[in-house]
Amino acid sequence: MAYKYGNKGHSATELQEKATQPPEFFTETDLLSVMKNAGAHIENLFSRNYIIRKSKTLYPIDKGLKLYDLVKDKK
């Protein structure tokens, strides 16, 4: 029995050289949005008893430290 070999099932691969672009700079609106959301995250940490405030400094409590240990190696 004779077999015919051809390009069936195979495709040509072509390499393309492209340059990547750096990320765009943050705009003032971007930064203000992040800052606004950061305040909400901090309040969330207070409401879930992960942190406490002493004077003007924020400190994690045991529950917050345990959460940190669980997520510190995650992306």
Whether the predicted pLDDT of 3 surpasses 60: no
pLDDT value at residue 58: 95
Q: Which 3 state secondary structure label does DSSP give 51?
A: strand
Half-sphere exposure of 54 (CA within 13 A, CB side): 3
Whether the predicted pLDDT of 12 surpasses 90: no
pLDDT tens digits for range 18-62: 889 998 999 999 999 999 899 998 999 999 999 999 999 999 999
CA–CA gap between residue 46 and residue 39 (Å, rounded): 11
pLDDT value at residue 17: 86
Task: Determine contact, residues 60/68, Cβ cutoff 8 Å.
Answer: yes
Q: What pTM did the predictor assign? A: 0.53
